[in-house]
Homo-oligomer: A and B are copies of this chain.
Amino acid sequence: MTATPARPEDLSARIAAALRDAIVQGRLIVDQRLPSEAELSEQFGVSRPTVREALKRLAAQSLIRTQRGASGGAFVNRLSFQEAQAQQITTSTLLLSMNAISFETACEARFALERACAPLSAQRRQAPHLEAMQTEIARQSDPALSDEAFCASDVAFHRALVDGAGNPVLSYQLAGAVEAMQPLMNMITFTARSRERIVALHRDIADAVASKDGPGAGDGLLALEAETLRLGRDVFAERERNKR
């Protein structure tokens, strides 16, 4: 039995996997130049188009970047938080939209994770975070705001809250959870009354964070989760009925 007996993957997939392993295991380090396409095709015994397909696979994961011209080539890319977040958001959003995830499940996950950030954020938040939260609260109070814009502002509020924890790893992880909820939230039509309730809760949370009251922020998030759940239940229960 050899390494991978069961599944004869594409050549380009196997080459991509080999290069990916080399990067993950540190045999290829950040900013190091990979051999040229011609050299790789010779090393792996395949044609240049096949090598190119493999390189595009890696580029799609932001593992490499390519540069044209003399002394150009493919270089191991330092994965930035921004790139990683973008990928995570895409993946999380699709995961939720393609699988039968109930609104309750998604909501629970999101708020559970967010509550984990609350005490840290209450402790460490800086002026910009507090300002960002206030800005979004002000925006949300405008009744002329469309539902979509209201949701977008909601996301911005929560991202400011999470960023307040001052932990980039947490911000990165939460980005997926918070953003992936947006398409679901966009299905909700908010009444003026429900918006008021949400904005009031946002105020409570922002105040708690501003006064470094971690438990208070947690309680605010709990109340917001209950409110969100109530709003979502009606919409999605209705949808379920219509499906059948």
Give the B-binding residues of A (Cβ under 8 A): 12-13, 16, 20, 23-24, 26, 30, 49, 52-54, 56-61, 63, 78-81, 84, 87-88, 90-99, 101, 105-106, 108-110, 112-113, 115-117, 120, 167-170, 172-173, 176-177
Q: How many copies does the complex hold?
A: 2
Query: Do A173 and B173 touch across chains, with their CB atoms under 8 A apart?
Result: yes
Q: Which of chain B's residues has its CB closest to A110's CB?
A: B169
Chain B residues, Cβ within 8 Å of A59: 13, 57
Q: Which of chain B's residues has its CB closest to A77's CB?
A: B98
Question: A19–B13 Cα gap in the complex (Å)?
Answer: 20
Selected from B60, B95, B97, B117, the residue in CB contact (under 8 A) with A16 is B60
| Closest beta carbon of chain B to A60's beta carbon, Å | 4
Given A79-B99, A168-B101, decide whether A113 and B173 contact each other with a Cβ distance below 8 A. Answer: yes
| Closest beta carbon of chain B to A44's beta carbon, Å | 15
Query: Do A167 and B91 touch across chains, with their CB atoms under 8 A apart?
Result: no
Selected from B12, B88, B120, the residue in CB contact (under 8 A) with A56 is B12
The 16 listed contacts between A and B (C-beta, < 8 Å) are A53-B53, A53-B56, A56-B57, A78-B98, A79-B95, A79-B98, A81-B95, A84-B95, A95-B169, A106-B169, A108-B120, A109-B167, A109-B170, A112-B120, A113-B113, A113-B170
Chain B residues, Cβ within 8 Å of A93: 24
Q: Which of chain B's residues has its CB closest to A104's CB?
A: B167
Question: A177–B95 Cα gap in the complex (Å)?
Answer: 18
Given A23-B94, A61-B61, decide whether A105 and B12 contact each other with a Cβ distance below 8 A. Answer: no
Selected from B56, B87, B101, the residue in CB contact (under 8 A) with A91 is B87
Query: Do A91 and B61 touch across chains, with their CB atoms under 8 A apart?
Result: yes
Query: Do B90 and A88 touch across chains, with their CB atoms under 8 A apart?
Result: no
